Amino acid sequence: MNYEIKSSCDILPVDLSETTIFKDLLLSKSYGLCVAQPKNGKSLLILELLACALLGKDFMGFECLNPIESALYVYGEGGSGLGRRLEALREKHRDPLATLYCMTHEEFCVYEHSHNDLLIRAISQQCDLSPQIIVFDTIRSMAGNHSDTDNVSTAKLFSNAKALIKEFECSVIYVHHTLKNSNTYAGGVNVRGATDFLWSVSDGAFWADSGKETPESDKKYFQLMPLCNSVVIVPSDHNAIHEQVDYAEIESGLEYLKNGGDLIAIRVGKAIWGDGKTSLTKRQKEVVTKVIELYRQSENSTSYDIGEP
């Protein structure tokens, strides 16, 4: 082994433009987390990010400087709604997204080095193109017997990320939950210092989390647009999904659907609403109202999937 010592004059600034996927958001060969409470649209956002990266499109106002050729989406919760989401994503972007590879495996564990080694082998054998972004959605669904609040387990998680980056020169994104009724992420105390980026999703907004109070101007708002038998992410100038609504508006919307067309069935988390009898939480009523508004603009959708299955 030889060590090379250089003059400080020979060490020049790195041109990050060549290694930046999305300006001010995502570098190649980096790893980090996208965190949110359940049912906040984080999975839909990440799928939209992958599609934009593959097609060279801007994502939520972040400019795509270097499109990628392939990506891998590892989904740890059975994938029951994944097919609908991908169909809607393909329809939105008018592209087959053939190099967006997917894997669903309920026994895969993000903390186990042996599982990571098997994943590397599977990628090498089954993917025509090595993925330049790998997403794990979510850590909790692929935790096995490990705790996502344990520092030792967290170190193993990021060790696996580094192994993937070394093998494929890719970026690694872990989709993760915040603690219940909190904006604080679940994980060991070394999470923020160990990761290259931390993104947050809350109340219809997405932003890069610096650890300080995020100015409202830095948040990127989005809403859900019904398409095919699912929904897709579209940017919004305001918090369209979570705005406060009156229950009378829901009843008015229901009457509109009953009298003006087919009665749609809406999935809100695990609740199915379609006959006006199902009891919904305040949060679910807000979402239903928004879906009704979107339904009025839609001609080809009869069933909408809101949030994670």
pLDDT in tens, 173-184: 999 887 665 556
For residue 280, the model assigns a pLDDT of 63
Q: What are the residue ranges spanned by the domains of the chain?
A: 15-227, 244-306
Given a cut of 90, is residue 31 above it in pLDDT? yes
Residue 215, both tokens: 């100015």
Q: Give the percent of the chain with pLDDT over 90.
A: 39
Question: Looking at residues 145-170, what average pLDDT do you find?
Answer: 88
Better pLDDT: 31 or 19: 31
Distance set, CA 192 to CA 139, 147, 152, 196, 204 (Å): 16, 17, 15, 8, 23
Name the average pLDDT for the chain: 79
In tens, the pLDDT along 62-86 reads 999 999 999 999 998 656 788 989 9
Q: What percent of the chain has pLDDT over 70?
A: 70
Q: CA-CA distance, 244 to 222, in Å (whole number)?
A: 16
pLDDT: is 286 or 269 the higher one? 286
Q: Superfamily assignment of 15-227 in CATH?
A: P-loop containing nucleotide triphosphate hydrolases (3.40.50.300)
Residue 304, pLDDT above cutoff 60: no
| pLDDT at position 190 | 61
157-171, 195-209, 218-232: range with lowest mean pLDDT: 218-232
Mean of pLDDT values over 278-285? 64
